Amino acid sequence: MSPTSAGSSVIPGPISSDLLIIGGGILGLSTACEALSRGISVTLFDQAPERSATLAAAGMLSPYAESIETPFLQELMKQGRVSYPAYVARLEEISGVRIELAFPGTLLPSVVETDGARLQSTAERFADIGARARYLDPTDLAADEPRLGPIAAGAVLLEDEGYVNPQTLHTALRAGFERLGGEWIPLHGLGLAVRQQRVIGVETANGLVLGGAVLNASGAGADRFLLPEDQERYRARPVRGQAIRLRPPRAADGIRRVIQLPGTGYLVPRADGSVIAGATSEAVGPFPGLTAEGIHAVLAGAIRLVPSARNWSFVEAWSGLRPLAGEGEPVIAPDARPGLFHGLGLYRHGILLAPVAATRLAKMITDYLGKSGS
């Protein structure tokens, strides 16, 4: 059944699937599609997919732009970027939905006049770890992205980075899930059914649903499916982000590249000419919502990067809850209780990491179930 057609229907009795997935965001749906393609039957639980962090994301595909401390996460992000074109092409074929995907490059500008040599060194360091990176001096930068404000020292250009439109991606994932035969239950997973220390199903408001394995992909709510010791170890928690969409009066008045400046914000172009600006990062608990302070900060950052943005139209604003775990490293692993797997803590990188994380999880689950896969 689809999320819309199922409505508030009552589960007639235990439904047995190979895999039960809690969470209909990008990780849950990507893993579901991968598992279904391997011949695994899937039932997914999500009562409110419109609240997914996926839909609140800007969709940046930037494995190098942010400073990443752990080699594990850096490697995952690099793999995510490499895998994206094939991931999108396959999903478009399965779903019949066009996904907006572009790689215009990411600019990392600097406002410090003495930063020219440092930016050159940064570009070389990026190149050493696999990025296509080069330094743009102030003259080259003005020609490359003329709407930027007066950035004294130039910028680093990461030529292979870009973005995916999360709305089109999520639509394609839901359509692909349905076409592949996935079963969507429009209910929250309230708890886990455990027998002899093995996870055998998911408890819902309408009763127990049985499955061969369970994937906890519930994003900012993942903590409630962890053992007490893992709750302390992973510290899964939500971080609110507020973002806005602006529209220049003409396409020529906008930007063509992704622009990121730590401490100021980011700008992401869209094919329709609009620009996404974001984002706050607030440890406010499990409460999404917009604030005057948050939107003011995002607007101020956008105008600092592109002064003419003060004259762009304000289209919309939204917020979402990013799922953070520990110090920011994702958890893609089985639980101590057989039958349960976790995909949590993808935080700011959920869009980028989804193809790689989904493939890893599907492989773990396929092996656990004893399926041959494909």
Distance of CA 195 to the CA centre of its chain: 33
Residue owning tokens 């003409």: 250
The answer to whether residue 115 scores a pLDDT higher than 60 is: yes
Average pLDDT over residues 31-46: 97
Read off the pLDDT of residues 8-24 as tens digits, 9 standing for 90 and up: 334 545 667 999 999 99
**83-87: long-range contacts at Cβ-Cβ below 8 A with a sequence spacing of 24 or more?**
83/355, 83/356, 83/359, 84/164, 84/352, 84/355, 87/30, 87/354, 87/355
Among 3.90.800.10, 3.50.50.60, 3.30.70.580, 3.40.50.720, name the CATH number for the domain at 12-97+166-236+326-369: 3.50.50.60
Residue 216's closest CA among 56, 371, 351, 340?
A: 340
Residue 355 has pLDDT above 90, yes or no: yes
pLDDT of the residue at 329: 87
pLDDT over 90 percentage in the chain: 80
Q: Domain spans of the chain?
A: 12-97+166-236+326-369, 103-161+238-322
- The predicted structure's pLDDT at residue 14: 63
Phi, psi for residue 279 in degrees, rounded to 5: -140, 155
Residue 374 pLDDT: 41
Contacts of residue 71, Cβ cutoff 8 Å, sequence gap at least 6: none
Of the candidates 368, 41, 33, 330, the residue with the CA atom closest to the CA atom of residue 199: 368
Token pair for 262: 């730590």
* CA distances in angstroms from 365 to 18, 19, 24, 27, 46, listed in the order given: 9, 8, 18, 14, 20
Average pLDDT over residues 286-300: 92
What mean pLDDT is predicted for residues 238-262? 95
Chain centroid offset of residue 117 CA: 33
Confidence of residue 314 (pLDDT cuts 50, 70, 90): very high
* 69 residue type, one letter: E
Look at residue 15 in the predicted model and tell me its pLDDT: 65
Distance in angstroms (rounded) separating the CA atoms of residues 290 and 135: 37
3-state secondary structure of 306: coil
Cα–Cα distance, 299 to 288 (Å, whole number): 19
Q: Which CATH architecture has domain 103-161+238-322?
A: 2-Layer Sandwich (3.30)
pLDDT at site 111: 79
Q: What is the DSSP letter of 337?
A: S
Average pLDDT over residues 182-206: 94
- Check residue 97 and report its DSSP letter: -
pLDDT score of 96: 98
As a dihedral over the C-alpha atoms of residue 50, residue 52, residue 55, residue 57, rounded to 10 degrees, the angle is: 160
Instruction: State the pLDDT at residue 316.
Output: 97
pTM of the model: 0.92
Residue 114, pLDDT > 70, answer no
* Beta-bridge partners for 42: 19
* DSSP state letter for 205: T
